[in-house]
Amino acid sequence: MMRQYELVERVTRYNPSADEALLNKAYVYAMRKHGSQTRASGDPYFSHPLEVAAILTELRLDDATIAVALLHDTIEDTDATRAEIDTIFGEEIGKLVEGLTKIKRLDLQTQKAKQAENFRKLLLAIVDDVRVLLVKLADRLHNMRTLEHMPEHKRARIAEETMEIYAPLAGRMGMQDMREELEDLSFRTLNPDAYATLAERLASLRERNDGLITDIEETLTARIAERGIAAQVKGREKRPYSIFRKMQQKSLGFEQLSDIYGFRVIVGTTEACYRVLGVIHTTWSTVPGRFKDYISTPKQNDYRSIHTTIVGPRRQRIELQIRTQIMDRVAEYGIAAHALYKDGETGGRNIARHTEESRAYDWLRRTIDLLSQGDTPEEFLENTKLELFHDQVFCFTPKGRLIALPRGATPIDFAYAVHTSIGNTCVGCKLNGKIMPLVTELRNGDEVEIVRSQAQTPPPAWESIAVTGKAKAAIRRATRESVRKQYGALGEHILQRAFTRADKPYSEGLLEGVLGLLSQDSIADLLAAVGRGEISAQQVVKSVHPDYQDERAGIIRPEPGEGWFDLEKGQGLKFRIPTVTGTDGDALPIRGLAGDIPVNFAPNGGAVPGDRIVGILTPAEGLTIYPIQSPALKEFDDQSDLWVDVRWDIDIDNPERFPARISVSALNEPGSLAAIAQVIGENGGNIDNLKMVRKVADFHQMIIDLEVWDLKHLNRIINQLRTKPNVSSVTRVNG
């Protein structure tokens, strides 16, 4: 176990002005508090926070962060309190330790909701101070390094959570080395056979290629030095999980991989990077399609480097990364690389200053913005995972602004990446000046122009097309809000009519006074609940006006012999139709499925303009429109509070079709169905569905669902079908 002076020396080696007294005090305090506690391995528990602190010294972090690492388990696992830590170490360190404690209390839960809530808390804590993330990742890394000491039934769960959340999060923060080690440790637990096989193959390859890395390093260094460029060349073997992932993605065997070894060329300036590239490309053959310039176009996690692949000195493919020393530090340590020490400032202050310019931190803030806009923890975790795991594609706005998106992204994702309001009003796009479908997959370098309309609302189907979490969450919110507004409008219509029939005053002020009584948070919620049929209009009237006597909510039962409908085709079935009082102008206007009021049409027959119609409002189905002759109304005969007076309100300038159903009996002969379809098509009808319900030797009966403009249109089709010699009978079906 590392001694106290050794830890202090590790910090002062890169930060001579570190607060040694703080480090000593944190070391002694944590060691005393953890006392005789032990880990699953049997080691003293204090060895864990000490190793976490050691990992952070490798990232060259400030002394305050190292102190937090030493103290991060004290509140959770000892009798230490936040107040005590504030008193001894200061409020800043106390706040960080408490933030890590709140996160840990939900760690490693099997339930998805708890894991998601844990992730929310982690990101909320990070947005206050990014050092929480650095300590948390170091904590997870040490736990993964010692995972073999955990009970077997817990290992897979911990490794899976690490692979799904912590490793990609480290990658998005630019901490590539930490990401690779977390992935490799998780891979060894989750797929031990594959890990062992790859490790064995790599060992064999290493033995065969003994001295290869050294030879290539020396050859590259010599060729670059000949051109007067000082460079350091470092080679390394790829990790087993990195190789496994490439084999899976490219469907390759181990023997087919050509870039198991990677080399970094590190120089002093950006200009030298391009000079080295010229030396390499003029000395060795390049592999087509394997060049990427992340210096001119950095990745979203601040990564900058030039990538190229050549056929090297031993006629073997070599993957090269060319970068400056600063770029190399950012590539290895990511956001932690901003903890640079200047002018005697502490690393913590510099982290706060430099992360304001960090693209990785910008992504983190956007993610937090998604969290704050009302998604459930499960949705938030799902959407964030989508962004964590995708590689990137770079596109441009017409004004030249660079937008980084996951691979597979569409113009819908692009629109939401620019701004949520642009996504919500998107109706089309131009890619490189050409009109293209919104489902088109974007490619690197595409210029994307979004066509907008303020009348647009994003269709729910877009959620299945979008790739980014931001787009999916925004579409889901817009859909919910649109549905909420529609039901709210319907609820307001119903309430206004109910208050008018009851001869009672109606206002939003009166509704506000009964929100608590009706268990609603706002007037909008109340109106939507009424629109969905969850709360009856009579219930609201009685809540606002307790003296109101419900007289069947204005519904008057017909006298004997009145208001009865005798169905000719219903085997003499009779039932009572409640008649709603009021003028036709009081009835709800119904336009169709595309109208402002959310409605359904009778599922077994529909309804068309020209029918006398009524509405039935139920919590399960919302408002369903039935023709007055529908036998289905019988089941609502004694539930008068569900009946809603409605009327057609057809927009002549924007006509739409309505559903109707017919039953056709026709001769069972070739061409019979074609003749029926021809009549429907020639008369402008549209067949939505067709089902054979009975077939005998001479005749067959079919049920046809049509889309027609109105009752006259439907009757014209029926009458012309009846004139056909191969048609025996045609009747309209009213379900």
Residues that are catalytic: 76-77
How many CA atoms lie within 13 Å of 361's alpha carbon, on the beta-carbon side?
Answer: 21
How far apart CA 224 and CA 233 sit, in angstroms, is 10
CA dihedral 104, 105, 111, 112 (to 10 degrees): -50
Q: How many helices (H) does the chain have, and how many strands (E)?
A: 29, 25
* CA–CA dist 165, 109 (Å, integer): 13
Contact 448, 396 (CB under 8 A): yes
Total Cβ atoms within 10 A of residue 266: 23
Alpha carbon 676 to its chain centroid, in Å, reads: 47
Distance CA 26, CA 53 (A): 11
Nearest to 143 by CA among 189, 97, 102: 189
Distance CA 643, CA 636 (A): 8
DSSP characters over 181-243? HHHHHHHHHH-HHHHHHHHHHHHHHHHHTTTHHHHHHHHHHHHHHHTT---EEEEEEPPHHHH
CA distance 712 to 497: 31
Q: At what angle do helices 20-34 and 63-71 cross, to 10 degrees?
A: 10
CA atoms within 13 Å, Cβ hemisphere of 481: 12
Which residues on neighbouring strands pair with residue 436, listed in sequence order? 429
**Nearest Cα to Cα of residue 168 among 367, 379, 395:** 367
Crossing angle for the helix pair 469-501 and 377-389, to the nearest 10 degrees: 150
DSSP-assigned beta bridge partners for residue 732 = 662
Query: Is residue 59 within 8 Å of residue 336, measured between CB atoms?
Result: yes
Beta strands 646-648 and 588-590: pairing type?
A: parallel
Distance CA 262, CA 269 (A): 21
CA distance 729 to 735: 18
Check if the beta carbon of residue 275 is closer than 8 Å to that of residue 332. Answer: no
Residue showing tokens 């290493």: 206
Distances 329 to 129, 322, 340, 614 between C-alpha atoms, Å: 21, 13, 11, 71
3-class state of residue 354 by DSSP: helix
Q: CA-CA distance, 70 to 87, in Å (whole number)? A: 17
Q: Residue 176: left if φ>0, alpha if ψ -120 to 50, beta else—which one?
A: alpha
Residue written as tokens 């339930």? 111
Cα 256 to Cα 273: distance, rounded to the nearest angstrom: 30
User: 3-class DSSP state for residue 431?
Assistant: strand
3-state secondary structure of 731: strand
Pick the closest to residue 656 from 590, 587, 723 (CA basis).
Answer: 590
User: Which residues have a Cβ under 8 Å from the Cβ of 341 and sit 6 or more positions away?
Assistant: 14, 15, 17, 347, 350
Asked whether the beta carbons of 541 and 498 are under 8 A apart, the reply is: yes
Distance (Å, whole) CA 490 – CA 479: 17
Place of tokens 């190789």: 243
DSSP for residue 697: S
| Structure-token match 């030493």, residue found | 70
d(CA 536, CA 642): 8
